[in-house]
Amino acid sequence: MNRVVHLDAPQWRGPDLQELVSKVALGEQDAFGQLYDAVAGRVLGLVRRVLRDPAQSEEVAQEVLLEVWRTASRYQPERGEVMSWVLTIAHRRAVDRVRSAQAASDREQRVASQAYAPAFDEVAEQVEGRLEREQVRRCLKTLTELQNESVTLAYYRGFSYREVADMLNVPLGTIKTRMRDGLIRLRDCLGVGS
């Protein structure tokens, strides 16, 4: 029997993640293996963009996937796609790791600085840094709401342009235009040469 393939027909793109999560929630290990294979690469990619450290990224990615295994029963399809749910867990874990590392570094610096009086130049540099951060905040307020949202998601939350487009349900070209226009506006506001 000859099979007719329509070019317009939607192509199969992999396992049904929602079905897999339902099975994982019931404790099916094979389903978890399939879910793992389907999402692990994107999880590691996102975590690596946030952490920038390969070893820590792998560790956090494993923690994320373990959390997916343990919390699969809490997934609510009406609140979003499975991949979005998993990547949200991954992003939160990665940010938590960054914050934890920053807190440890801050504690070490406080202990070290208790016996050290900063030189004048360090104080001046801190003041300059604060002034620059305040100027960036002021300039961000000059952006349109859409530009500000796009720039914030990309540069402060670590999402790629494609992820920002998916999150905002806007075409990728529109996001690129918003980002370009927003960054030009920031450059001009900050007085940075092109």
* Tens digit of each residue's pLDDT (9 = 90 or more) over 73-123: 999 999 999 999 999 999 999 999 999 888 888 888 887 777 665 556 777
Q: How far apart are CA 164 and CA 167, in angstroms?
A: 5
pLDDT at 63 over 90: yes
* pLDDT at position 68: 95
pLDDT at 1 over 60: no
* pLDDT at position 9: 43
Q: Considering only CA atoms, which of 79, 82, 63 is closest in space to residue 25?
A: 82
70 Cβ partners below 8 Å, 6+ apart? none
pLDDT at 5 over 60: no
pLDDT digits (tens, 9 = 90+) for 116-164: 655 567 777 887 878 888 888 888 888 888 888 888 888 888 888 888 8
Alpha-carbon separation of residue 106 from 40, 98, 101, 102, 130 (angstroms):
32, 12, 9, 6, 17
* pLDDT at position 27: 93
Q: Which residue in this structure is represented by tokens 């070209």?
A: 173
* pLDDT at position 10: 46
DSSP assignment of 11-53 = PP-S--HHHHHHHHHTT-HHHHHHHHHHHHHHHHHHHHHHH--
Q: How far apart are CA 142 and CA 130, in angstroms?
A: 19
* pLDDT at position 116: 64
